Every structure is written in structure tokens, then in C-alpha cells.
Amino acid sequence: MNAQLKTILLTVLTLSCFVIALVELSGVSQTALFNKYGIGSSSNALTTKEADSRQQQIASMPKTTIQFIDSFYNFGEIKEGESVKHSFRFKNTGTNPLLISKTDVSCGCTVPTFSKEPVAPGAEGVIEVQYNSKGHPGHQHKNVIVHSNAQMEAMSIGFDADVK
């Protein structure tokens, strides 16, 4: 193997390692949030395959209705670096089971968790949201988009915090 080929292969290997590290540190990968912030539980997170499967399952389910008992929360003043949690309660107000397929967050510092089990008609459920304020000084407004088989398939819940 000539020296030029060795140099090219070594450069490709180095760049690959750099890209993997960059993806992990940026919070782009599925598990980076847990590695970077040390919050949440990766066992609660849905893999891409699970999320796709749930989306397909929800597409075939009858629609229902959902009502958030509290869709917004104000943490008030918190210290930078503090990690806080809030449980957003909701009720299945329809006549069919409610299944949450996934949640989308506006920032990697926000980690929502929810039950993978269907919520029966008339029953209540909870989406717990944990926020890590490290590196986020000032007034913060964050949103979580909740996807389900409700008639309104995507709903927003959110919170404010004044990070000092």
C-alpha cells in the first residue's frame, strides 16, 4: 500500500471520528441528549423504528379527543444549571383509546417522557417534561409538540423559566 493511499484512508478515518463526535455533542443523535445533559432515561425514549411503528399504528386507529388540564407552566426564577421537572396532565375526552406516538422539542435541553400504553376513554395521562437550564441564561420559553391519534394530531405544551 503506497503512502498516498495510507494518508487518504487515515484522513477519512479521522474525519469520520470527528463527525461522530460532533453529532453526539450537538444533540442531533437519538441518545446524545442523555449523554450530553445526563437527564431523562434512554429506556423511555422511542427509537426511530418504534416511533415509525407507532405512527403507522396511530394512522389506522380511530380518532379521539384530548384535553390538557395544564398546557403551560411557569417555573419562575431558577438558577442556571438547575434541572427542573413538570408533569403536564391530560384527559382522553373521546370515546376511543388515545395513543401518543411521539413528542418534538424546541431545544435539546428539554426531555419529555410519556407512557407508551394507550390511555382509555375518560382516563388521565401525564407527559413529564424535564428542563436542564445549563448554558441557557435569561428568559426561556420552550415548547413540546405532542403527536397522537387525537382529532388535533399535534398539540403544543410549553413552559417559561427565568434562568439567573
Beta bridge partners of 148: 100
DSSP percent split of the chain into helix, strand, coil, nearest 5: 25, 40, 35
Q: Are residues 50 and 109 in the same domain?
A: yes
Per the domain annotation, does 136 fall within a domain? Answer: yes
**b/e code 80-96 from CB counts within 10 Å (16+ = b):** eeeebebebebbbebeb
Question: pTM for this structure?
Answer: 0.69
Q: Helix or strand or coil: residue 84? A: strand
Cα–Cα distance for residue pair 131/135, rounded to 1 Å: 12
Q: The domain spanning residue 62 has which CATH number? A: 2.60.40.10
Q: Are residues 16 and 95 in the same domain?
A: no
Kindly give the pairing relationship between strand 72-78 and strand 154-163: parallel
Q: Are residues 111 and 155 in the same domain?
A: yes
Q: Are residues 51 and 75 in the same domain?
A: yes
In this model, does residue 33 exceed pLDDT 60? no
Per the domain annotation, does 37 fall within a domain? Answer: no
Per the domain annotation, does 147 fall within a domain? Answer: yes
Q: pLDDT tier at 12 (50, 70, 90 boundaries)?
A: confident
Instruction: Domain count for the chain, please give it.
Output: 2
Q: Are residues 24 and 47 in the same domain?
A: no
Per the domain annotation, does 36 fall within a domain? Answer: no
Per the domain annotation, does 82 fall within a domain? Answer: yes
Q: pLDDT tier at 1 (50, 70, 90 boundaries)?
A: confident
pLDDT value for 39:
38
